[in-house]
Amino acid sequence: MTPAPTTIQPSATNWAGNLRYAARGVAAPRDLDELRRLLAAAELAGERVRPLGTRHSFNDIADTDGLLVSTAALPADIEIDAERRLVRVSGGLRYGDLAVRLEESGWAVGNLASLPHISVAGAVSTGTHGSGDRNGSLAASVAAVELLTAGGELVTLRRGDADFDAVVVGLGAFGVVTHVTLDIEPSFQVEQTVYERLPLDAVLADLDAVTGLGYSVSLFTTWRDADVIDQLWVKRRPDRDRPALADVVGARPATGPRHPLPGVSAEYCTEQGGAAGPWLERLAHFRMGFTPSNGEELQSEYLVPREQAVAAIGAVRGLAAEIAPLLFVSEVRTVAADALWLSPAFGRDVVGLHFTWRPVQAEVVALLPRLEAALAGFEARPHWGKLFAADAAALAPLYPRFDAFTALAAQYDPMGRFRNAFTERVLFGA
């Protein structure tokens, strides 16, 4: 019997609505054979292809002038190996859905991003992270990755293999990620406490002490008052962290639940107030069942070496008057070093300076070169899935294995089927 052709849906927008994809359409193959046929047809037609996850990138990393291939319709595999403490999952599965299944079986992943709505493959491939002095990015927990190349070959790479450290944070340059194997651990409890109105100078006087208050710590400021951190979110593991403090540099816990964005209902956020609960109900900032963050927004993030974080925050502070009118909120988080070639945490512990912008893209894009110039002396690496201005010439010196990465990507995809305007701009320098 001849297989049914894959339905091609009209091209759409990303999650934030700031980008309409230029692709001719979106295909959602239902199995690997269907995906192979799509890639073979693209090869014959000389058409470019890009894998598409949950569309949470704010730039054109997932766009193409050819065909977008969504992994959402591939079988939703979740295979737990309790003896080896691993779980093999479909790349298109969302972290929130995976978390529920893991918790039901008594397991957990070590960390989550601020929202659980993102796909595993998309988050890993762009170096997305949560927070925590000893917590690596989501990609750091990858033990194996399986991808389908442009030639239809299914490649499996495991931690320790020669190409593994390049392919995990692969930016979609090597193929379509079909499955990812992640490290897991026994389920654990988390308590979340929010402190308000911290003096910024007191925080910067010992930033390590503040970020070390819990398992995962986030600092939020709107930069409307350049002397204040508006909120400090401390997520503690009672099985290993010291008790929550009654105050942090004079700031007291909030009197009720809070949203990071001023004036937005906290019903969208995970439970606070110091009450213990399962990891999946505390580690992310936002609940799975609600629109995360603000919805209509833009995002940028720059990750700087931990030892330069205080000075880098000071540089941002110097631009507060320009940043604040365009900003919903800024977040500061910590990420432990890893060995993944294009991870923003490659080779060093980093501090992420995140900006959730109002949906005024022209104004934000105009500001980014000035912001990046202010951070240039701190080796700031941008988050690959968010808005930034740097091109390949500016990015290459920030990554010791940058040239090796682009050379390997060319080996996996010699005809450039997975290239797009984004990769030409930030990787290959065209």
pLDDT digits (tens, 9 = 90+) for 226-252: 999 999 999 999 999 999 999 999 999
Q: Is residue 180 a part of any domain in this protein? A: yes
CB atoms within 10 A of CB 107: 20
Average confidence (pLDDT) over 53-68:
95
Q: Determine, yes or no, domain membership for 259.
A: yes
Looking at the structure, do residues 125 and 242 belong to the same domain, yes or no? no
Which strands sit side by side in the sheet containing 154-158, from one edge to the other? Answer: 78-81, 86-90, 176-183, 142-148, 154-158
Same domain? 121 vs 263: no
Last residue of a domain, one of 160, 186, 212: 186
240 shares its domain with 376: yes
Report yes or no on 141 lying in a domain: yes
Q: Which residues contact 99 (CB under 8 A, 6 or more apart)?
A: 108, 109, 112, 116, 279, 280
Mean of the per-residue pLDDT values for the chain?
Answer: 95
Residue 4 above 70 pLDDT?
A: no
Backbone φ, ψ for residue 147 (5° rounding): -140, 155
Specify if 110 maps to a domain. yes
Average pLDDT over residues 352-377: 98
Please give the pLDDT value at position 10.
66
Q: Which of 116, 151, 186 is the last residue of a domain?
A: 186
My answer on whether 125 and 105 are in the same domain is: yes
Residues 6 or more apart in contact with residue 407 via CB below 8 angstroms: none
164 with 109, same domain: the answer is yes
The tally of domains found in the chain comes to 2
Last residue of a domain, one of 132, 154, 186: 186
pLDDT at residue 294, rounded to an integer: 55
Q: Is 240 a domain residue? A: yes
**pLDDT tens track for 147-204:** 999 999 999 999 999 999 999 999 999 999 999 999 999 999 999 999 999 999 999 9
The residue with greater pLDDT, 24 or 8, is 24
**Given a cut of 70, is residue 93 above it in pLDDT?**
yes
Do the domain assignments include residue 27? no
Question: What pLDDT, on a 0 to 100 scale, did the predictor assign at position 111?
Answer: 97
Does residue 387 carry a pLDDT above 50?
yes
Strands, E assignment, 251-297: 276-278
Note whether 335 and 137 are within 8 A (CB). Answer: yes
For residues 413 and 191, give the distance between their C-alpha atoms in angstroms, rounded to a whole number. Answer: 46
3-state secondary structure of 312: helix
pTM of this structure: 0.96
Residues 275 and 386 in one domain: yes
Q: Do 365 and 224 share a domain, yes or no?
A: yes
Closest CA to 197 of 221, 228, 165, 175: 228
Q: What is the pLDDT of residues 243-283, one digit of tens each?
A: 999 999 999 999 999 999 888 889 989 999 999 999 999 99
Please name which of 402, 398, 351 lies closest in space to residue 129, comparing C-alpha atoms. 351
Question: Hey, which of 7-11, 15-19, 114-118, 170-174 has the most confident mean pLDDT?
Answer: 170-174
Instruction: Please state the rounded mean pLDDT for residues 352-380.
Output: 98
- pLDDT score, position 9: 76
> Residue 132: pLDDT above 90?
yes
Residue 415 has pLDDT above 90, yes or no: yes
Site of tokens 């299914």 = 154
**Same domain for 344 and 197:** yes
**CATH classification of the domain holding 82:** 3.30.465.10
Cβ neighbour number for residue 216 with a 10 Å cutoff: 31
The answer to whether position 2 is within a domain reads no
Per-residue pLDDT at 210 exceeds 70: yes
Residues 138 and 197 in one domain: no
Same domain for 210 and 349, yes or no, is: yes
For the chain, what percent of residues have pLDDT higher than 90?
Answer: 93
pLDDT band at 1 (very low <50, low <70, confident <90, very high): very low
Rounded average pLDDT over 6-19: 82
Residue 67 lies in a domain: no
Task: Give residue 106's domain range.
Answer: 78-186
Residue 6 has pLDDT above 80, yes or no: no
Average pLDDT over residues 291-302: 80
What CATH number does residue 319 fall under? 3.30.70.2520
| pLDDT tens-digit map of 149-162 | 999 999 999 999 99
Cβ-based neighbour number of residue 75 at 10 Å: 12
Same domain, residue pair 234 and 296: yes
Is residue 89 domain-shared with residue 137, that is, in the same domain? yes
